[in-house]
Amino acid sequence: MKLPSLTALLDLSWSRVFAVFLKELVQMRRDRPTFAIMIMMPIMQLVLFGYAINTDPRHLPAVIEMREDGPMTRAFLASLQASTFIDIVDIAYTSEEAEAALRSGQATYLISIPEGFERRLIRGERPQILIAADASDPVASSGAIGAIERIAQSAFAPEFQGPLNFLARAPPPYEIVVHRRYNPAGVSAFNIVPALLGVILTMTMVMITSIALTRETERGTMENLLATPVRPLEVMIGKTTPYIGVGAIQVAIVLAVAMLLFRIPFTGSFLAFLIAVTLFIFANLMLGYLISTTARTQMQAMQMTFFIFLPSILLSGFMFPFRAMPGWAQAIGEALPITHFLRMVREIVLKGAGLSDVLNDLWPLALILIVLASLALLRFRRTLD
């Protein structure tokens, strides 16, 4: 038996190579959406995430609880306002008001100056400035705490002059006490694990439904389906509902792991959680289905899924503190179902929120769901045109 020679194995015609190369080039040019995604994806992601990712979070929202109104506390407040670390969103005069802002996620910090602060300061009683930080997102909460200490130092320094010169000493004549709320130990897993549920559901629900119609088109079965009297809404519902069950199983698994393995306390309303997660699954299914009305091949559908998936991780508050992102990045985040789900799941699981606490994010999620479903229905082609 003759073995094929090395030259036979290496026999290669550059003209054939070129022919194949040209053919691929032509095919790539014909497949405009894939081409556009291939080009646009890295550009957009560089631009988006390059600006949005911020490991030194600034402009985090704070609510100030002012129980005292004197020259020194006003100077402190002015310094806080001038600081870029925190943005004062509200000045509360009762602690209920301040606590509500922290719980609803309107504020990441609650800075509380007690009554008689100045008097006790001068008497040398070391009054406390209380910082309550929402530690359900440890990255967001830890950054600015140190900053607030420095702000206090520089704000009070000019005040400790003349007759009050004796106060300009170390340690300072006041004490800054930090309370980490909702996640006292600052455990990252408390922040990540409930949020991971959102990421897992986004990934799988969108991906599965994104090929729902695409596969029919690609395999040629769409023609037969359209030749029957089936209606677009019937196809939409019929094709997405099987995955609600898949989503439910995923929810159960993540919850079980979160509670048994990570010992995450489920402090809030289970009903609120069920409503939030159901709405979120529906929204993701519709998002995937919308993709499948647009993508012509399964490959395109996959690429579009990732196009949704990356901002869902990076711009939703999953990886980086939402409030520390620039405004336009927050605007994109607000349009993603996962952003609203993440806030709700953190509030419910970690902060003990009930249904009324999460309404702020429940209605935007419902709105997104309705918009996605309507777009998908409108885009469904009743004909092969």
The site for other proteins (CB under 8 A) is made up of: 219-231, 382-385
Amino acid at 67: R
Tokens 């069920």 belong to residue: 274
In the bound state with other proteins, the residue whose beta carbon lies nearer, of 20 and 230, is 230
C-beta of residue 384 within 8 angstroms of C-beta of residue 226: yes
Nearer to other proteins, 178 or 226 (CB): 226
Shortest distance, position 298 Cβ to other proteins, whole Å: 14
Q: Which is nearer to other proteins, 150 or 231 (CB)?
A: 231
At its nearest, how many Å lie between other proteins and the CB of residue 248? 24
Smallest Cα–Cα separation from 199: which of 249, 254, 137?
A: 254
Task: Examine residue 171 and say whether the peptide bond preceding it is cis (omega within 30 degrees of 0).
Answer: yes
Q: What is the DSSP string of 50-113?
A: HHH--SS--SEEEEEEE---SHHHHHHHHHHHH-SSEEEEEEESSHHHHHHHHHTTS-SEEEEE
Residue 384 half-sphere exposure toward CB, CA atoms < 13 A: 11
Pick between residue 216 and residue 357 the one whose CB is nearest to other proteins.
216
Q: Of 212 and 258, which CB lies nearer to other proteins in the complex structure? A: 212
Q: Which segments of 179-269 does DSSP mark as H helices, in order? A: 188-210, 212-219, 221-227, 232-240, 242-260
User: Which tokens go with 84?
Assistant: 């870029």
Query: Nearest distance from residue 228's CB to other proteins, in Å?
Result: 4
| Least distance CB 297 / other proteins (angstroms) | 17
Which of residues 293 and 303 has its CB atom nearest to other proteins in the complex?
A: 293
Between 126 and 381, CB nearer to other proteins:
381
Residue 302 CB, shortest distance to other proteins, in Å, is: 19
Q: How many Å apart are CA 142 and CA 125, to the nearest integer?
A: 27
- Spatial neighbors of 88 by CB under 8 A, at least 6 apart, are 61, 62, 63, 64, 77, 80, 81
Shortest separation between residue 225's beta carbon and other proteins, angstroms: 8
Q: How far is the CB of 276 from other proteins (least distance, A)?
A: 34
